[in-house]
A and B are shown apart, each in its own frame.
Chain A
């Protein structure tokens, strides 16, 4: 019986060897792939244009400048008012669209611990602009009422596809003092419709 199995293996040695080599190659390939950065993620990462408050960031869809940042417990628009268990950070923006579809539809605040707060229950009025005509508008983002290390406001055209396009990054100062002040501010921050033209 044992000689039969030896014959069986002897007849299939080449096939078994090839199979073992294929498995080994796949295993090595998996290890190498796991160690390398994801080429798709690296290649499609957004291009970040850092600008301080008061500076213009030149984006593909237009020029954007944050002129003022304030915070409070409530923002009040033309339809509804929204409160928060944290605090609203509201940025006043000057935006000049460069294209028909020019808009700031994504506004997020991120910290250096990897947290990211997107528009969510907030608002952006920086939409429906006219190419070449400056508009003044606002974005409001809801964040916890506490100091935030490395806080940055990110403004971008499209909230659905974050690949390749550029985005403005505005460093913010949200320290203990500003967080405490904003978290106690019960006066609604007015957010009217955007003003188009000067």
Chain B
């Protein structure tokens, strides 16, 4: 037996065609590359992307993205949310904060007082004021002024406040440029809930990007950026003056 008929046992030809031991490796590699070269470009690109994706696994590529830690803000500190520079100063609750409000029989208004100044050259009129402040872990908050259903305590950050200009107790939706306003973000709590001793306020940052629905750029994607906890002061309700007899 010369071995020509037993290719797996006896090397034939040059060393590259050997199929056993260390000498066989270069041959296999060469054939593998040769096979790869015959593959369509699209398939090669797909394979390369898959291999790259797999290689990221040991380095945490498939792990959940870490949530950035929220900064702790101080009362009266200026916080840059993107379209608005705001401060948070105090929190109070009342069943009727002023003449402009309806008296509540069971529940109360929660009011976060602060200031707001636009960073933009034109009036902000897309609800940015109501988007930048939220309450954490408060039960019984109405979802919005258009939806009076209370939201679960774990979802209290979805409850949207109404903005008010404090000086005249009028509602405020738009924020014009180059002026600082004393404002209150106001939530309504329903049910026979007693006012909390303190509340955690969460500040949201907005991003300026093109809307996916309209051909326009807007401040969107509110995301938590800072928080602070403040005590709640309970205020006596406003009482209408008695008419002159």
Contact = CB atoms under 8 A, between A and B. Distances in A.
A94 interface: no
B172 A86 contact: no
Given A114-B121, A115-B178, A121 B41 contact: no
A8 B172 contact: no
A86 B179 contact: yes
User: Residue among A1, A7, A114 with the most chain B CB within 10 A?
Assistant: A1
Contact of A120 (B30, B125, B167): B125
Contacts of B37: 4-5, 7-8
Given A1-B30, A81-B168, A82-B168, A120 B174 contact: yes
Query: Interface range on chain B: under 10, 10 to 19, 20 to 34, or 35 or more?
Result: 20 to 34
A117 B34 CA distance: 69
B41 A15 contact: yes
Interface string B156-194: 000000000101101011111111111000000000000
Nearest to B124: A120
Looking at chain A's contact residues, the main secondary structure is mixed
A191 to B, nearest CB: 14
Contacts of A5: 33, 37
Contacts of A142: 176, 179
Nearest to B174: A120
A173 interface: no
Interface string B124-147: 010000000000000000000000
Interface of A: 1, 4-5, 7-8, 12, 15, 80-86, 108, 113-121, 142-144
23 contacts: A1-B33, A15-B41, A80-B168, A80-B170, A85-B179, A85-B181, A85-B182, A86-B178, A108-B123, A115-B177, A116-B123, A117-B122, A117-B123, A117-B176, A118-B122, A118-B123, A118-B125, A120-B123, A120-B173, A121-B172, A121-B174, A142-B176, A143-B176
